[in-house]
Amino acid sequence: MSSHPLRQVIEAADRAISDENLEAVLDFYAEDATLVVKPGLNAVGKEAIRRAFVAILDYFGHSLTVKQGEMVVLEGGGDTALVIMETILEFPGPDGTVASITRQATYVFRKNEVGQWLCVIDNSYGVDLLKEEHHA
Amino acid sequence: MSSHPLRQVIEAADRAISDENLEAVLDFYAEDATLVVKPGLNAVGKEAIRRAFVAILDYFGHSLTVKQGEMVVLEGGGDTALVIMETILEFPGPDGTVASITRQATYVFRKNEVGQWLCVIDNSYGVDLLKEEHHA
């Protein structure tokens, strides 16, 4: 399943994040997309997502690299796809070595009228949103 | 977040499954929806989903009850929503008591032209699809 076109899309998006190319990052999102910044805090719409990425890149000391692990794509009705994937964040650890976080992410994409996949829901926390402390 | 209209939709769908009312169950799905029957096996389209439910109800000895636990709804662009929720399957255990399985499910819904939420991707296995044995 790793040959699904969405793998290349996500690889390119993660590369744009690692390169801090915010214009390129935003091109992967639909206008009214939702990004889970952290559990309980969502950014809705491109302007809010841009501000969230500015904060995220700052938080990681402008040294964040996003990589991809295993991936499963489920295509459903209405040109919609659910992507379940390992997303690996690498950043400088306190001792100068590379620290990493691996998340089991859930992304929803929709194909637009010209056949381009755009991210409509970016939830890198996956089912961890169900943890007691994360919902009201 | 438990007051989202999708909670009532999913409760009604689960009740229809528990009642073995397949016509009612299928009304909750878009025509070209995808149901993950088990990791690695998907049913695509209403007819395949109908056959899958016949097999599922048979597998559980026609005594399956589906209940809902915690739920988080993320709405994104294009009238699309990602639902992350605990889904609880109850069925008779070998000793006559009630056995249960709790899954952390991921469902994608889309709102149709008359404002009705329809399930386009039903993946009750959530991120467990990433487990080594489940993908090629």
User: pLDDT in tens for each of the 136 residues of chain B?
Assistant: 457 999 999 999 999 999 999 999 999 999 999 999 999 999 999 999 999 999 999 999 999 999 999 999 999 977 999 999 999 999 998 888 999 999 999 999 999 999 999 999 999 999 999 986 555 4
Give the pLDDT score at A3: 76
**How far is it, in rounded angstroms, from Cα A5 to Cα B65?**
38
Q: What angle do CA B79, B84, B86 make, to 5 degrees?
A: 140
The number of beta carbons lying within 10 Å of the beta carbon of residue B51 is 13
pLDDT in the model for residue B62: 95
10-residue mean pLDDT profile of chain A (136 residues): values are: 83 97 97 96 97 96 95 91 97 91 97 95 96 61
Q: Tell me the chain B residues in contact with residue A38 when contact means C-beta distances shorter than 8 Å.
A: none
What residues pair up with B103 in beta bridges, in sequence order? B87
Q: Tell which A residues from 49 to 68 touch B, by Cβ distance under 8 Å.
A: none
pTM of the model: 0.93
B49, B72, B122: best to mutate for the A interface, most A CBs within 10 A: B72
List all residues 6 or more positions away from A61 whose beta carbon is below 8 Å from its beta carbon: A91, A92
- Taking the CB of residue B22, how many other CB atoms lie within 10 A of it? 16
Q: Which two tokens stand for residue B36?
A: 């993950």
Q: Do B108 and A80 touch (CB under 8 A)?
A: yes
Q: Any idea what DSSP says for residue B83?
A: E
Stretch (H or E) spanning A32? strand A29-38
Q: Which position has the token pair 């809705």?
A: A44
Distance between A22 CA and the closest CA of chain B, angstroms: 20
- What is the pLDDT, as a whole number, of residue B132? 64
pLDDT at B77: 78
Contact A32, A20 (CB under 8 A): no
